[in-house]
């Protein structure tokens, strides 16, 4: 069976590219700012501007058709969410919430979870750290990547 493909969306700097690399078994080492849609065999990484600016929503919906699942990334160190309420319900795919940077001293996992639960996800919410690896295996399982 072909490995399902995942699209990652979330704010600028929320950790999408780092998460994609770690899920793909590459190190979390320095990543450059994502300027365009970046396709790999099993993931589609998106620039944060795409969710921060509603004029790009159509591009996100269209691109999601090429994915099997969409991960909504919430930076657990941030006290705000860039996603409109119910946003996940606009995608006709599996929708998963991931709270990132849970290793960080300023991270608040419960706050990240509560932001993600407002999105109308049809799948679970997981807290992860790309640096320590916490939660990464759980995300791979949810994606049927193992
Ligand atoms: N502490 C911590 N920092 C992270 C983690 N994941 C990413 N970062 C940092 O967050 C910043 C933005 O990451 P990046 O993957 O470029 O975010 P993107 O803009 O959503 O693609 C970088 O400085 C990363 O090193 C994590 O799990 N823990
Ligand atoms: Mg990026």
Architecture of domain 6-142: 3-Layer(aba) Sandwich (3.40)
Q: State the average pLDDT over residues 105-110.
A: 98
Q: In this predicted model, what pLDDT tens digit does every residue of 65-100 receive, in sequence order?
A: 999 999 999 999 999 999 999 999 999 999 999 999
Per-residue confidence band for 61, with pLDDT thresholds at 50, 70 and 90: very high
Q: What are phi and psi of 95, to 5 degrees?
A: -125, 125
Per-residue confidence band for 146, with pLDDT thresholds at 50, 70 and 90: confident
Residue 2 has what pLDDT? 82
Residue 55, sorted as left (phi over 0), alpha (psi -120 to 50) or beta, turns out to be alpha
Ligand 1 atom with the smallest distance to the CA of 45 is: 21
Q: State the average pLDDT over residues 46-54.
A: 95
Which of 11, 12, 15, 103 is the pocket-test mutation for ligand 1 (most atoms within 8 Å of CB)? 15
Which of 16, 18, 20, 106 is the pocket-test mutation for ligand 1 (most atoms within 8 Å of CB)? 18
What is the whole-number distance in angstroms between the Cα of residue 15 and the centre of ligand 2? 7
Alpha-carbon span 107 to 101, nearest angstrom? 7
**Strand runs (DSSP E) across the chain, as ranges?**
6-10, 38-39, 43-45, 69-75, 94-100, 125-127
- What does pTM read for this prediction? 0.96
């Amino acid at each position: 069976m072909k490995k399902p493909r995942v699209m990652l969306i979330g704010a600028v700097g929320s950790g999408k590219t780092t998460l994609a690399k770690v899920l793909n078994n590459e190190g979390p080492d320095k990543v450059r700012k994502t300027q365009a849609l970046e396709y790999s065999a099993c993931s589609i990484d998106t620039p944060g501007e795409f969710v921060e600016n509603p004029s790009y929503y159509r591009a996100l919906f269209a691109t999601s058709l090429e994915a099997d699942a969409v991960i909504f990334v919430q930076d657990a160190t941030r006290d705000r969410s860039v996603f409109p309420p119910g946003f996940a319900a606009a995608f006709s795919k599996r929708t998963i919430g991931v709270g990132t940077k849970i290793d960080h001293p300023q991270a608040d996992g419960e706050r990240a979870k509560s932001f993600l639960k407002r999105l109308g996800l049809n799948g679970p919410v997981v807290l992860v750290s790309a640096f320590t690896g916490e939660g990464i295996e759980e995300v791979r399982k949810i994606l049927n990547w193992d």
